[in-house]
C-alpha cells in the first residue's frame, strides 16, 4: 500500500495483538533499486510478495533487505528473499553477533513454551538464518541508491536494534522500540529497560520526523501526533521506574 510518495507500508497480521501469530509491519522505499525494511515471517512471505506486486513493484528489483533487529517476526523472511532473488540482507553488527548466540533462542519452539517471557506468545518454530548471510551496518549516514539516510543504534528491545531515518521525507522506522501509546518489550533475551529508555530519549530528540512506522500497529502520522506519543511513552517509563522489577535483566538462556 502506497503511504506517501516513494514510501509503501504493508501492515503485519494481528496489529498489536501479540497473543496469536506475530508478524511485523514491512516498509518499502521505492527507488531505482528498492529498500525493504523488516520482511516479517517466512510463512507470510508469499502474501507480502503479492502485496508488493499489487503496487506494481517487482520484488526482484529490491536491492537490499534492512532489518531493525533479528527477531523472527521481523527477519525470518529475509531467508526467502535471498533464496528466491539473491537479495542481500543487513542488520547491525551487534545484532548479527547476538543472532549467532543468545539471539538463536527466539527461533526455538521451547522458548515460547517454557519461559515466562515467551509464554505469552503462541508461536511455532522458525527457520534460523545463519548470521553469515547478513551484511553488518553501522550507526550513522547510510547511502543507498544515491539517497542519504541515517541509521541509529537503539538497543533495549534487542541489543543490536537499529532505527532508520529518512530526514528528507520525515520518515522514521523504529522496529519494536515503541508503538502507538506504549514502549516496546524489554523482558526478552537481550532486552533491558534502562537501555530502552535511553534509546527512546535519543529518538525523541530527532528533528524532521513527521511519520513513525512501528514494528506493529498503526503508523503515527503528523508532528503533533509524534510528540504526543513520546509524551505518553515517557509517562509510562516514569511509572515503570517505580515498580519493583523493571531494572532486572531479562531472562538468561
Question: How does DSSP assign 176-226, residue by residue?
Answer: TSEETTEEPP-SSTT--HHHHHHHHHHHHT-SS--EEEESSS--EESHHHH
| Average pLDDT over every residue of 193-222 | 96
| Average pLDDT over every residue of 218-240 | 96
- Convert the pLDDT of each residue in 102-134 to its tens digit: 999 888 877 766 655 555 555 566 888 888 899
Burial class (CB in 10 A: 0-12, 13-18, 19+), 114: exposed
pTM of the model: 0.92
Q: Which of 121, 48, 109, 33 is nearest to 78 (CA)?
A: 48
Q: What Å distances lie between residue 198 and 117, 156, 195, CA to CA? A: 22, 8, 5
pLDDT band at 242 (very low <50, low <70, confident <90, very high): confident
Minimum mean pLDDT range among 67-76, 110-119, 203-212, 230-239: 110-119
Q: Which of 227, 155, 164 is nearest to 197 (CA)?
A: 155
Question: Is 252 inside a domain boundary?
Answer: no
The pLDDT value given to residue 108: 82
Question: Is 89 inside a domain boundary?
Answer: yes
Work out how many domains the chain is built from and give that number.
1
Most confident option among 20-24, 101-105, 169-173:
169-173
The pLDDT value given to residue 121: 59
Question: Is 149 inside a domain boundary?
Answer: yes
Question: How does DSSP assign 79-112, residue by residue?
Answer: HHHHHHH---EEEEHHHHHHHTTGGGGGG-HHHH
Domain range holding 202? 2-241
SS (H, E, C) 8-25: EEECCCCCCCCCCCCCCC
The pLDDT value given to residue 200: 98
The answer to whether 67 touches 90, Cβ cutoff 8 Å, is yes
The pLDDT value given to residue 88: 96
Instruction: Please give the Cα distance from 226 to 218 (Å, whole number).
Output: 12
The pLDDT value given to residue 247: 47
Question: Is 40 inside a domain boundary?
Answer: yes
| Average pLDDT over every residue of 156-174 | 97
Cβ atoms within 10 Å, residue 128? 15
- Convert the pLDDT of each residue in 26-58 to its tens digit: 999 999 999 999 999 999 999 999 999 999 999
Question: Is 84 inside a domain boundary?
Answer: yes
Collapsing DSSP to helix, strand or coil, 50 comes out as helix
Question: Is 116 inside a domain boundary?
Answer: yes
Question: Is 172 inside a domain boundary?
Answer: yes
pLDDT at 196 > cutoff 60: yes
pLDDT at 251 > cutoff 50: no
Question: Is 246 inside a domain boundary?
Answer: no
Q: What DSSP designation does 251 have?
A: P
Residue linked to cell 521525507? 169
pLDDT at 244 > cutoff 70: no
Give the CATH number, domain containing residue 99. Answer: 3.60.15.10
| Average pLDDT over every residue of 12-37 | 83
Amino acid at each position: 500500500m502506497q503511504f506517501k510518495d516513494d514510501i509503501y507500508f504493508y501492515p503485519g497480521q494481528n496489529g498489536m495483538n501479540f497473543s496469536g501469530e506475530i508478524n511485523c509491519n514491512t516498509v518499502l522505499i521505492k527507488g531505482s533499486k528498492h529498500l525493504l525494511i523488516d520482511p516479517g515471517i517466512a510463512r507470510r512471505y508469499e502474501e507480502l510478495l503479492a502485496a508488493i506486486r499489487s503496487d506494481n513493484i517487482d520484488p526482484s528489483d529490491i536491492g537490499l533487505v534492512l532489518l531493525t533487529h533479528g527477531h523472527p517476526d521481523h527477519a525470518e523472511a529475509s531467508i526467502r528473499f535471498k533464496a528466491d532473488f539473491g537479495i542481500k540482507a543487513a542488520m547491525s553488527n551487534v545484532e548479527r553477533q547476538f543472532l549467532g548466540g543468545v539471539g538463536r533462542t527466539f527461533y526455538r519452539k521451547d522458548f515460547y513454551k517454557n519461559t515466562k517471557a515467551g509464554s505469552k506468545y503462541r508461536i511455532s518454530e522458525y527457520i534460523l538464518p545463519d548470521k553469515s548471510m547478513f551484511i553488518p551496518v553501522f550507526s550513522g549516514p547510510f547511502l543507498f541508491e544515491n539517497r542519504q539516510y541515517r541509521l541509529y543504534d537503539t538497543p533495549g528491545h534487542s541489543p543490536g536494534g537499529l532505527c532508520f531515518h529518512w530526514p528528507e521525507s520525515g520518515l522514521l522506522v523504529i522496529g519494536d522500540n515503541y508503538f502507538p501509546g506504549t514502549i516496546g518489550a524489554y523482558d526478552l533475551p537481550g532486552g533491558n529497560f534502562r537501555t530502552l529508555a535511553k534509546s527512546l530519549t535519543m529518538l525523541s530528540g530527532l528533528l524532521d520526523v513527521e511519520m513513525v512506522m512501528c514494528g506493529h500497529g498503526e503508523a503515527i502520522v503528523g508532528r503533533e501526533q509524534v510528540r504526543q506519543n513520546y509524551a505518553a511513552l515517557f509517562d509510562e517509563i516514569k511509572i515503570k521506574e517505580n515498580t519493583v522489577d523493571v531494572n532486572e535483566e531479562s531472562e538468561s538462556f
